[in-house]
Amino acid sequence: MTTIHDDPDEFAEDQLAGWLVLYADRVRGVHGGVVALPTEGADPQVAVVVGGGSGHYPAFCGVVGPGFATGAVVGNIFTSPSTAQVYAVAKAADQGKGVVLSFGNYAGDTMNFGLAAERLNAEGIDTRIVIVTDDIASADEESKRRGIAGDFSVFKAMGAAAASGATLDEVERIGNASNAATRTIGVAFAGCTMPGATEPLFTVPDGHLGLGLGIHGEPGIEDVPLLRATELASLLVSRLLDDRPAGAGTRVAPILNGLGDTKYEELFLLWGRVLPLLRDAGIEVVEPEVGELVTSLDMGGCSLTLQWLDDELEALWRADAYTPAYRKVAAPVSALVPAEAVADAEEAATVVPEATDASRQAAQTVRSAVEAIDALLREHEEELGRIDAVAGDGDHGRGMVKGIGAARKAVDRVGQEAGVAFVLGRAGDAWAEFAGGTSGVLWGAALEAFGRSLGDDRDAYEASDVVAAAQAFADSIVHLGGASRGDKTLLDALLPFVAALDSSVTAGQSLASAWQGAAEVARDEAVKTADLTPKVGRARPLAEKSLGTPDAGATSMGMILTRVGEVLATRAADKEGTHA
């Protein structure tokens, strides 16, 4: 719901007044809209004047500035600006080189921009019109389609052309070529609400999305069951590829656009699904944009735009621009070292310390354990999440899977010449970096501590050395986490494990046998945490709620220690078989 306002009828005027105050250093207000301030010493250029109703920010005033639009006409919410408003903005924007008016294909806009163009031409200001028709869901015939997020692509091309000194004829031609090369399809998850209204302009049935929405609150052309991100990406991409322009090449400038209520993080996730589909289709992606570029107040939804590029359109898409809502400056980015080169340099700079044969053999055990733990945690991810959700945020299973997954990849990248301390250190670094949260930090630091205790320079590793490393692992968590046994954390399983392991090894048991017995103690103690209430961490405010449910961290610790014990037993049996 659009909540912040005084008089809903004055919403469009009031928001524009606030915006003008904010950006008074780069634009000025005129009747009906805004015009960019001139650049000192710059040659006059063709004026590109864009516009439509309010409610679509950053369209339209947000794209006024060098390299983009010269002016923007701002109508009422979802309403075409008047002829007088269009005329006034265009007149103020004209620099003596002519004007191009551009807008989405809606009846009111077509009429009012057209009448204003007639008036301007009658006064000797050469004025052309470029209408955006990118919405493939609104009509089969291209000339009858609506203009939605493709507005941005077309405006950008013309603005860049004008900034480069193109003539009026050239800017008009480029605008029409850009429009012909641009296709968009969108989906809505929820309708938008006008200022002062209590109900949305349209609703989407529960469990569905509206396919083919418009940006003025028009519902989609059909309701389809709500899709997972991968399926949604496939729907959007396939529809656009099926409607690619005649003679289209293989390069596209994509825009994944949020419509007002869809979070950036959701768009980023969806882009991660869209990009592989485009690449699999043989499409080369050129400087994609993901974010809110053409919105619809608070509508929940998104759209995908593809502009098919030739050499001319690609250069215009890449061109610099600086506006209140959109900034592209190529020089700082082009000066950066590519990520691949940085990774290669880091890899080349990494010196693997010398390691004894015993250390390398111990590293093989670590590799086997990491692989086994990875499989274990993926198998129990949902279970750990359910346990954590009772008094936490339910992300323990996901976090552990991300941590061990990153650790496994890091270990797999380490050469066989590396010793156990180096391998564990790399695993810990990766776990801490990618798991996130307190748990990720603790596991990462603890793995590094385990490795440091073992070292890479021993000629042999005794069971007592592993006990000392396990103690270093536990000490690291105690020091960083600030918790104690009885606080309902992973320490309630880990500390009894270390004590039992030490006792069994001191009594003369083999490492594998002692570890398995201690792991059983850890599992039992993890179960007993159901009778405890948390005293630290984010679960503490819901302490009473957690009674009767074991701690997720202690539970996963018990699982992991058990699986490591199985690995140690298997490797011990293999070793005995080899000697036999």
pLDDT one-digit tens code per residue, 533-574:
876 554 444 445 668 889 999 999 999 999 999 999 999 887
Neighbours of 227 (CB within 10 A): 16
142's tokens: 């291209």
CA–CA separation, 532 and 255 (whole Å): 51
Triad 225, 220, 69: Cα angle to 5°: 130
Write out the DSSP string of 479-503.
HHH---TTSSSTHHHHHHHHHHHHH
CA–CA separation, 59 and 296 (whole Å): 10
Burial grade of 235 (CB within 10 A; 0-12, 13-18, 19 or more)? middle
495's tokens: 């500390």
Cross-strand partners of 54: 77
Q: Are 435 and 399 in contact (CB under 8 A)?
A: yes
Q: Are 76 and 53 in contact (CB under 8 A)?
A: yes
In 3-state terms, what secondary structure has residue 291? strand
CA–CA separation, 178 and 180 (whole Å): 5
CA distances in angstroms from 330 to 40, 96, 299, 317, 334, listed in the order given = 22, 29, 32, 11, 6
Q: Helix 381-389 and helix 396-413: axis angle, to 10°?
A: 140
pLDDT of residue 540: 47
Q: What is the pLDDT along the chain (580 residues), one digit of tens a residue?
A: 678 899 988 999 999 999 999 999 999 999 999 999 999 999 999 999 999 999 999 999 999 999 999 999 999 999 999 999 999 999 999 999 999 999 999 999 999 999 999 999 999 999 999 999 999 999 999 999 999 999 999 999 999 999 999 999 999 999 999 999 999 999 999 988 899 898 888 888 899 998 987 787 666 678 899 999 999 999 999 999 999 999 999 999 999 999 999 999 999 999 999 999 999 999 999 999 999 999 999 999 999 999 999 999 999 999 999 999 999 998 888 888 887 777 677 666 678 899 999 999 999 999 999 999 999 999 999 999 999 888 676 889 999 999 999 999 999 999 999 999 999 999 999 999 888 778 889 999 999 999 999 999 999 999 999 999 999 999 999 999 889 999 999 999 999 999 999 999 999 999 999 999 999 999 999 999 999 987 655 444 444 566 888 999 999 999 999 999 999 999 988 776 543 3
CA–CA separation, 113 and 381 (whole Å): 58
Q: Are 453 and 468 in contact (CB under 8 A)?
A: yes
Is the bond preceding 58 in cis, omega lying within 30 degrees of 0?
A: yes
Neighbours of 561 (CB within 10 A): 25
pLDDT of residue 60: 95
127 phi, psi to nearest 5 deg: -130, 130
Place of tokens 């991810």: 381
254's tokens: 């994509």
CA–CA separation, 48 and 41 (whole Å): 19
CA–CA separation, 273 and 370 (whole Å): 28
pTM: 0.69
Q: Are 202 and 193 in contact (CB under 8 A)?
A: no
Burial grade of 346 (CB within 10 A; 0-12, 13-18, 19 or more)? exposed
Burial 159-178 (b: 16+ CB within 10 A, else e): bbbbbeebebebbbbbbbbb
Neighbours of 401 (CB within 10 A): 20
- Catalytic residue list contains 216: yes
Neighbours of 272 (CB within 10 A): 13
133: Cα within 13 Å, side-chain hemisphere? 17
Q: Which one of the listed residues 31, 216, 479, 579 is annotated catalytic?
A: 216
Burial 237-249 (b: 16+ CB within 10 A, else e): bebbbebbeeebe
